[in-house]
Structure 1
Amino acid sequence: EVAVIAQDGTDGATLDAVRALLRRAGASRFTAPGAPVPEGALVVRLGAHRQTDDPLHALPSGGYTLSVGDGRVTVTGAGPDGLFHAVQTLRTLLRPDGRFTAAVVRDWPATAVRGVTEGFYGVPWSHGQRLAQLDFMGRTKLNRYLYAPGEDPYRQARWREPYPAERRAEFRELTERAARNHVTPAWAVTPGQAMCFASDTDLRALTRKLDAMWALGFRAFQLQFQDVSYTEWHCGEDADRFGTGPEAAARAQAHVANAVARHLADRHPGAAALSLMPTEFYEDGSTAYRRALAKALTADVEVAWTGVGVVPRTITGGELAEVKGVFGHPLVTMDNYPVNDYAPGRIFLGPYQGREPAVAAGSAALLANAMEQPQASRIPLFTAADFAWNPRAYRPQESWRAAIADLAGGDARREEALAALAGNGASSVLGAEESAYLRPLLKEFWASRTGGGEKAARAEQRLREAFDVLGEVPERLAGTPLAEEVSPWTEQLARYGTAGTAALDMLRAQDAGD
């Protein structure tokens, strides 16, 4: 029996999450609110953190305290998000035997806004995949989802048109699921290829579209101008009003962004800060375009960038500070990892790395651009969530192993198969060595053959076991949502496993003179 004692006003999604977790732990009865606590019952208390001016006890928004022991679980949160995050940590303390590991935790996010962009070119995620991804984001304490598929015409060339009724119903369900997971849903629009910047009529059409998306539950917005030409306007008024060239493009984009920011502030005061993806989103240093944009853009608009490069190997705190100084606005770091639309024959399953802690702490938001494969994306996204939450204590390999275990869901054979899949898809622009775990096994095998005996037999057995796992990856992942989306890669791994086993059999036959 469990007594859940929650402070008035506790978020319903948090209460549902803690009760579901307790049922998993074996709770069969919950004491009625206000009723006496039965002897021997587990007591779970949820409440607001008492803020103080003392820096040792103050908690940033989204932070929490958690104490588990002596038949009690006590949770305080800095706001509703903090309480929800505490429940996610409590979930990791649940042991297979139904007991909780005793712990005292005081925790908070280093990055205020941490999230995922669905911004790739290719087949967008399905509605069901997006809902499942929001549940994953809630578990991993990510709190921003940016909807920006490259193949959605209603946010690009046809941005003036309303979404069809079926899509609007899906968006309502999407934003409701986001709210339950304490994720802010954001919507990006790319109007620059079909807009007269100087037109008040077009501006009104744009703000009407944003109002419509607000009504569907979106609470943050981004204007994207990454593909806008400096020399081509879509109406004569633009050239008359803004001129031509990079500075003119910057002034036109700032004009639209400022008008949208004013509209959101007046009409939807609860909206998150507007962000703008500029045409020069990855260049280094100061340019005429960047200086003009910084001068014309109002202070409350954030500017997005991807680091120095579209998919940079590293992002440093110094680079972020320099670009922030050039733009003179808060920066939204939109990291193009693990997105794979530029290399569709690859899946990037290595951990998030090569980003200095100052990038997380210094960004107004840190968003990782996911792959077309939503389930496979969870391995690198899990690690990106770890980094964004606590970058100074982040350990990529440890986080990567935890990500694989999380995706396996407690199935040991599936986890072994996922480790093989991820280990053979770990390299990317960010670094790491492909199939690194096989190399020492191969080296040991060849080195031991000269001496023979028990040592050689053990080395062969270890390598054979690794090849066996590769050969079984499709079978071990069968029936999971991941299996279909990664089948081209798992089928190839199985071929490698079969080939490796055949090679070992051939060498054994040669040794025997067969």
Structure 2
Amino acid sequence: LREAGAREIAEVRPGQPLPHGDALVVRADAASAAEALHALHAPPRADLPREGYRLAVGRTKSRPTVALEGADGEGLFHAAQTLRQLVTEKDGERGFAGAVVRDWPTAPVRGVTEGFYGSSWTQQQRLEQLDFLGRTKQNRYLYASTDDAYRQAAHWRDPYPAAQRQQFRELAERARRNHVTLGWAVAPGQGLCFSSAEDRRALLRKLDAMYALGFAAFQLRFEDVSYSEWHCDEDAQTYGSGPKAAARAHAELAGEVARHLAARHPDAEPLSVMPTEFYQGGDTAYRSELADKLPPGVQVAWTGVGVVPRTITGGELSAVHEAFGQHPLVTMDNYPVNDYAQDRIFLGPYRGREPAVAARSAGVLTNAMRQPAASRIPLFTAADYAWNPKGYRPQDSWQAAIDEAAGGDAQARAAVRALAGNDSSSVLGGEESAYLRPLLKDFWAAYDDADPQEKPSLKRLGRAADRLGDAFRTMRTAKDRVPAALAHEVGPWLEELARHGEAGEHAVRMLTAQAHGDGGGAWDARLAVEKLQAKDGDGPSATVGKGVLADFVKRSLKVSDSWTGADRKAGGRHRATAQGGPVARPDSPAEAAVDGDPDTAYRAEAAP
């Protein structure tokens, strides 16, 4: 309410009279909210599931009214997040748009994994991520940092240092405020004796310690464990070797952990296991043995068929569900993680996952990038999908995600759109620089039709050049306009975007000058383009607009070569004229002109 502009808020207990006047009344207590919802023609509560809610905005008894009702505390919290989205502004006054909503999630668990390879997020970045999860109605944060030795083979037995324990407590409090469950993933397999009672007790003690710090969901990870390598002689004697032996060891340990959690921490979430075979399709000896030996209720994590699959279908989920003996599946999607392609940031929308995946998974978790603020663009869309996959519209959700990442400033929104629009393709699909392609098409069509003797054709070219030039200008200036946290994370990509934007501006200026027969202006612009091209490869590796931005500049230079005569074979409609030839300037060898022949001069200048 304060973010929406409320200056005074008075709390009225049930049964007390409302203050006089026409102030907005917000009803969030069960009794009066239900009455107001009925008056505002909201659908009945009926069998509203967990985390569901009803919300209505309108007028009751001649007063502006908001009514919120949740199926539980989480549902009421989610209703408040939807109310946040209904803020409108008119004539300088802010309020809430009229609406009637009955809503609930499809996937019971929706959230994010911090599981990328490389340096972990900072404490502040994690706190901000938890706030983001709350705003987007997600309810799980799985801590699986590969940079943390205390959850892996090296030190999984050891307690965390005091300072890190305090950070976890702070995360737990922030998670509680956002109705998010903290999860902790442990990967002890490469430094554990499965048949050792002492090692098992050490693992249970560590899990108890993490529960005391505020973690309420746990995952055992065996994805990097070899079938043929044990870490004590007793395991080889107890289990033997091969996939079935490994599966028995994994299942036995998981069973003991699951029983311990149920007995000691009955409010903890069900245990999940990331098996060694977490992405393969179909039935295998390992999967069959694991399914047979895992206790009922233990969940199994998978990533789809493939480590980073282009699509995940309901049929694939059903087949894997069958292979794991009907154990509930947690879909842990490796998007938008970019540790395998560090020159890329994946900012396109979540796509290629059928609605059945969200509806029939025990949870849907997406694996974030090293860049947390940038990750929130695709993660926003993944949250939309997991909440309502049948109504999910990737492009609409993506535009909303960009607006959320940019904040309220129009220039910032344009800058973030340019960044995301030129970093939107991935293994999941998507067309890079899709918003730019129609502008490029229109510009080339106008250029090809332009005739110096036909003013209408030049005006058409001018309009197309202005639109395309504006888009390139937004790219060039984006690094100064995106929010600071995002700019700090994606500096190399913003620099590369600026370089492509500036090169594009000069290329448009070069081609427009050529169409007008302005050889001097065209040459100046070409020199600027070539100077920017020479910077290609400078600084950290960052790829933006792959297959579009650089290709536009290359095509422009090739057309320029054709126009100047440097590339006779390419032909070309626009030719330099005596009036439009080069003029003397410090960086132009005008003395190469012979008898005022501009083609001769351009050939000399184009040939180093």
TM-score by length of 1: 0.93
The equivalent residue for 1:247 is 244
> Structure 2 residue aligned with 1:443, among 441, 444, 468?
441
Q: CA deviation at 1:33?
A: 3.4
The equivalent residue for 1:276 is 273
Is the 8 Å Cα contact of residues 140 and 180 (structure 2) preserved in structure 1? yes
Q: Distance in 2 between matches of 1:360 and 1:234?
A: 38
The equivalent residue for 1:358 is 356
Q: CA deviation at 1:459?
A: 0.5
- Specify the SS of the correspondent of 1:25: coil
Is the 8 Å Cα contact of residues 306 and 335 (structure 1) preserved in structure 2? yes
The equivalent residue for 1:231 is 228
The equivalent residue for 1:207 is 204
The amino acid that maps onto 1:85 is: H
The equivalent residue for 2:24 is 42
The amino acid that maps onto 2:519 is: G
Q: Distance in 2 between matches of 1:322 and 1:340?
A: 28
- Specify the SS of the correspondent of 1:72: strand
Q: Distance in 2 between matches of 1:55 and 1:274?
A: 36
The equivalent residue for 1:79 is 72
Q: Distance in 2 between matches of 1:381 and 1:107?
A: 20
The amino acid that maps onto 2:10 is: F
- Specify the SS of the correspondent of 1:65: strand
Q: CA deviation at 1:29?
A: 3.4
Counterpart check, 1:486 vs 2:490:
yes
The equivalent residue for 1:471 is 476
Is the 8 Å Cα contact of residues 159 and 189 (structure 1) preserved in structure 2? yes
Is the 8 Å Cα contact of residues 106 and 387 (structure 2) preserved in structure 1? yes
Counterpart check, 1:194 vs 2:187:
no
Is the 8 Å Cα contact of residues 47 and 77 (structure 1) preserved in structure 2? no
* 1:459-489 Cα distance to aligned partner (Å, 9 max, x none): 0100000010010011112x61111110000
Is the 8 Å Cα contact of residues 461 and 512 (structure 2) preserved in structure 1? no
The amino acid that maps onto 2:58 is: G
> Structure 1 residue aligned with 2:109, among 113, 134, 151?
113
Q: Distance in 1 between matches of 2:512 and 2:463?
A: 14
Q: CA deviation at 1:38?
A: 1.1
* 1:282-323 Cα distance to aligned partner (Å, 9 max, x none): 001000000000000000200000000000000000000110
Q: Distance in 2 between matches of 1:55 and 1:405?
A: 33
- Specify the SS of the correspondent of 2:134: helix
Is the 8 Å Cα contact of residues 271 and 298 (structure 2) preserved in structure 1? yes
Counterpart check, 1:453 vs 2:453:
no
Q: Distance in 2 between matches of 1:56 and 1:73?
A: 16
* 1:105-142 Cα distance to aligned partner (Å, 9 max, x none): 00000111000000000111000000000000000000
Is the 8 Å Cα contact of residues 331 and 364 (structure 1) preserved in structure 2? yes
The equivalent residue for 1:321 is 318
The equivalent residue for 2:338 is 340
- Specify the SS of the correspondent of 1:346: coil
* 1:369-422 Cα distance to aligned partner (Å, 9 max, x none): 000000000000000000000000100000000000011111110010000000
Q: Distance in 1 between matches of 2:11 and 2:131?
A: 28
The amino acid that maps onto 1:422 is: A
What is the identity percentage for the equivalent residue pairs of Structure 1 and Structure 2?
62
Q: Distance in 2 between matches of 1:270 and 1:499?
A: 58
Q: Distance in 1 between matches of 2:261 and 2:376?
A: 33
Q: CA deviation at 1:27?
A: 3.5
The amino acid that maps onto 1:223 is: L
Cα distance change, pair 287–29 in 1 and its aligned pair in 2 (3 A): closer
Q: Distance in 1 between matches of 2:480 and 2:188?
A: 46
Q: How does 1:177-188 map to 2 (within 5 A)?
A: 177-188=174-185
Q: Distance in 1 between matches of 2:232 and 2:258?
A: 23
The equivalent residue for 1:413 is 411
- Specify the SS of the correspondent of 1:24: coil
The equivalent residue for 1:502 is 506
- Specify the SS of the correspondent of 1:342: coil
The amino acid that maps onto 1:271 is: A
Q: Distance in 1 between matches of 2:120 and 2:13?
A: 44
- Specify the SS of the correspondent of 1:95: strand
* 1:344-379 Cα distance to aligned partner (Å, 9 max, x none): 111000000000000000100000000000000000
Cα distance change, pair 496–315 in 1 and its aligned pair in 2 (3 A): same
Q: Distance in 1 between matches of 2:77 and 2:11?
A: 21
Unaligned 5+ runs, structure 2: 35-42, 451-456, 521-608
TM-score by length of 2: 0.79
Is the 8 Å Cα contact of residues 255 and 297 (structure 1) preserved in structure 2? yes
Is the 8 Å Cα contact of residues 462 and 512 (structure 2) preserved in structure 1? no
* 1:57-88 Cα distance to aligned partner (Å, 9 max, x none): 21110000001111111111011000000000
The equivalent residue for 1:62 is 51
The equivalent residue for 2:560 is none
Counterpart check, 1:151 vs 2:132:
no
Cα distance change, pair 150–434 in 1 and its aligned pair in 2 (3 A): same
Q: Distance in 2 between matches of 1:31 and 1:443?
A: 58
Q: How does 1:369-384 map to 2 (within 5 A)?
A: 369-384=367-382
The equivalent residue for 1:3 is none
The equivalent residue for 1:13 is none
Q: How does 1:155-174 map to 2 (within 5 A)?
A: 155-157=151-153, 158-174=155-171
- Specify the SS of the correspondent of 1:255: helix
The amino acid that maps onto 2:350 is: Y
The amino acid that maps onto 2:432 is: E
Q: CA deviation at 1:252?
A: 0.1
Q: Distance in 2 between matches of 1:24 and 1:92?
A: 10
> Structure 1 residue aligned with 2:83, among 90, 96, 107?
90
Q: Distance in 2 between matches of 1:41 and 1:375?
A: 37
> Structure 1 residue aligned with 2:296, among 295, 299, 318?
299
Flag the structure with larger Rg.
2
Is the 8 Å Cα contact of residues 311 and 353 (structure 2) preserved in structure 1? yes
The equivalent residue for 1:139 is 135
Is the 8 Å Cα contact of residues 125 and 372 (structure 1) preserved in structure 2? yes
The equivalent residue for 1:513 is 519
- Specify the SS of the correspondent of 1:98: strand
Cα distance change, pair 459–23 in 1 and its aligned pair in 2 (3 A): closer
- Specify the SS of the correspondent of 1:66: strand
Q: CA deviation at 1:55?
A: 9.8
Q: Distance in 1 between matches of 2:4 and 2:302?
A: 42
Is the 8 Å Cα contact of residues 321 and 328 (structure 2) preserved in structure 1? yes
The equivalent residue for 1:122 is 118
The equivalent residue for 1:33 is 13
**Residue range with higher mean Cα deviation, 449-458 or 200-209:** 449-458
Cα distance change, pair 142–397 in 1 and its aligned pair in 2 (3 A): same
The amino acid that maps onto 1:380 is: P
- Specify the SS of the correspondent of 2:310: coil
- Specify the SS of the correspondent of 1:368: strand
Is the 8 Å Cα contact of residues 145 and 186 (structure 1) preserved in structure 2? yes
- Specify the SS of the correspondent of 2:87: coil
Q: CA deviation at 1:56?
A: 7.4
**Residue range with higher mean Cα deviation, 72-81 or 272-281:** 72-81
- Specify the SS of the correspondent of 1:344: coil
Q: Distance in 1 between matches of 2:349 and 2:176?
A: 28
* 1:139-183 Cα distance to aligned partner (Å, 9 max, x none): 000000000011110000210011111100000000110010000
Is the 8 Å Cα contact of residues 62 and 78 (structure 1) preserved in structure 2? yes
The equivalent residue for 1:290 is 287
Q: CA deviation at 1:509?
A: 2.9
Is the 8 Å Cα contact of residues 31 and 37 (structure 1) preserved in structure 2? no
- Specify the SS of the correspondent of 2:346: coil
Q: Show structure 1 runs of 4+ deviating over 4 A.
A: none
Q: Distance in 2 between matches of 1:509 and 1:386?
A: 47
